[in-house]
Amino acid sequence: MNKLIQANFSRLFKSTFFEVCLIFSAGIGILENFTRYYEMKKFPEYYVDLGIEYKSADGFAFSNALYIVFAVAAFTAIFLGTDYSDGTIRNKLMVGSKRTEIYLSNFITCAVANVITLLTSLTVTLGLGYVLFRTTSLTAKQTAICIISQCVTMIGFSAILVLISMLIQSKASGAVTALIATMILFVSAITITADLEAPEYYEDLRPVASETDEKTYTTVQTKNPNYLTGTKRKIYETLNDILPVNQFYQIMATDTDNAGKMAMYSALIMILSSGAGVVFFRKKDLK
């Protein structure tokens, strides 16, 4: 399998699309830094009372993953789809490579490539941010936990993308399917996060009868009918820790309380997706 991995990495570092992904991920960090720097210089009165997380790159660096997931989805599908379109997979089988080795070598290559894409964005964003803002809102330990957590999540997410891409021989169909799956996970993350963060009570201002002409109001708490409770809330919280894009959302808010649990779920996703992928790929009729 070592030769398969070496061949994959040789092709990876010659891939124009991979270079585009790296430029894209670095460009996000550069754009966000200079946008925030410009806003702070132009509207200093707006930022003066805000917390330090709004005055450093830590506050937005980890949100880049929400853009990068779409880039790595397209890359994984195209990179693996090329193996089918060029007949590379058939050639690998003809020289004696096992299907399990082909699948796992492709997963390792794509996982490493996607982590490199993520780390490129984080390195550029945090590095340039420190040069521009000269401050950080996180300790070195918190930053390290967030970076490692996002990398582990990316590996789990890559396992899902490889499963999709290895089972669809058409490069175009694979890319579309991977992007649709990513969009579904993205929308699910927004929905689940919004439902979990919904307040239990709303505060309403209601007028109170007064003997004078002056209007007076009182604050009344109203129960939110959509507030999640009981088993339904536990299900949402579990999904929030399991789904990859939801994990990115949590780390984006530098919430590392569930870092260990999320890493365990990412490892489980990697094992289940890769196991299922190997089984299906071994039975797949390669045209």
The Cα–Cα gap between 36 and 49 comes to 15
Under a CB-based contact definition with an 8 Å cutoff, are residues 178 and 74 in contact? yes
The pLDDT, as a whole number, for residue 220 is 73
The pLDDT, as a whole number, for residue 1 is 86
The pLDDT, as a whole number, for residue 206 is 66
Strand pairing report for 201-208 and 216-223: antiparallel
* Distant-in-sequence, close-in-space partners of 8: CB < 8 Å, separation ≥ 6: 105, 106, 108, 109
Q: Which residues are 201's β-sheet partners? A: 223
Whether the predicted model's global pTM rises above the 0.75 cut: yes
The pLDDT, as a whole number, for residue 208 is 65
The pLDDT, as a whole number, for residue 52 is 83
The Cα–Cα gap between 117 and 112 comes to 9
The Cα–Cα gap between 203 and 194 comes to 18
Other CB atoms within 10 A of residue 16 CB = 7
At CA 198, angle to CA 196 and CA 202, rounded to 5?
155
Element housing 221 (H / E): strand 216-223
Each residue's pLDDT, cut to its tens digit, for the chain (287 residues) gives 899 999 999 999 999 999 999 999 999 999 999 999 999 988 888 888 888 888 889 889 999 999 999 999 999 999 999 988 888 888 888 888 899 999 999 999 999 999 999 999 999 999 999 999 988 888 899 999 999 999 999 999 999 999 999 999 889 999 999 999 999 999 999 999 999 998 888 777 666 666 565 666 667 778 888 889 899 999 999 999 999 999 999 998 877 788 999 999 999 999 999 999 999 999 887 76
Structure tokens belonging to residue 111: 């996982």
